[in-house]
Amino acid sequence: MTAVQESLMTTEEFEELARTADRLSEGVRLEFINGKLGVKAMPDGDHSRIVQWLTRLLLRTNSGWWLHPEQGLQIHAYREGRARPDAVLADADAFVGQGEWANPDPVLMAVEVTSHDDDTDRRDRKDKPRAYADTGIPIYLLIDRDTCEVTVHSAPKGERYEQKTTVPFGATVQIPAPVGIELDTEPLKDWVK
């Protein structure tokens, strides 16, 4: 996501802009985090394969779950921000009847897979952990293709996660409740450049 400018726009103005961008342009996804308008890069094939791999693993753990790709979420304590995680784990029917920007309460875990762009550090490693923690999302899973590491953020408290575990690709990492699985990250080595 590239920061476009500091924004004083309202949430409603952002949503209208995002709808217009979706209609007029392929490959542009907008987000509104910490009052900043951002453009998120479209995923490449390896990025999509990682989300597919994770979806299959999570479905084997609980067939009632689904890893919803690109689900827009209302974020922050007052829900005035808008984020589009690469995927969110929730019950399969969690977002039925909701619009493009859903209530985040059913989300068990937000997932981001880094893209190879200039804004990855700020967006995925700084802004999103704060936004997801502040929103009360129990787990934030960052699959970082730049550093070849997986970071599990858990125990949200205010604008931060109290627990943070980072392992290199190839290691096994525990994703705590409410997800409660052990994740073998060895396959991720095949999907980095």
- Count up the domains in the chain and report the number: 1
Residue 144 sits in which domain range?
43-191
Residue 88: CATH number of its domain:
3.90.1570.10
* Section 25-52 average pLDDT: 72
Give the separation between CA 192 and CA 34, rounded to whole angstroms. Answer: 30
Indicate whether 38 belongs to any domain. no
Cβ distance 104 to 138 under 8 Å?
no
Indicate whether 71 belongs to any domain. yes
Indicate whether 11 belongs to any domain. no
**For position 171, what pLDDT does the model report?**
98
Q: How confident is residue 2, by pLDDT bands cut at 50, 70 and 90? A: very low
- 152-190 pLDDT per residue, tens: 999 999 989 999 999 999 999 999 999 999 999 999 999
Q: Which two tokens stand for residue 98?
A: 């909701």
Indicate whether 116 belongs to any domain. yes
Indicate whether 32 belongs to any domain. no
Indicate whether 153 belongs to any domain. yes
CA 191 to chain centre: 18
Q: What are the distances in angstroms from CA 49 to CA 42, 45, 55, 137, 191? A: 13, 6, 10, 24, 8
In the chain, the amino acid numbered 49 is R
Which of the pair, 69 or 22, is modelled with greater confidence?
A: 69
With 60 as the cut, is the pLDDT of residue 127 above it?
yes
Q: How confident is residue 121, by pLDDT bands cut at 50, 70 and 90? A: low
Indicate whether 171 belongs to any domain. yes
HEC assignment per residue over 127-172: HHHHHHHHHCCCEEEEEECCCCEEEEEEEEECCEEEEEEEEECCCE
- 88-104 pLDDT per residue, tens: 999 999 999 998 899 99
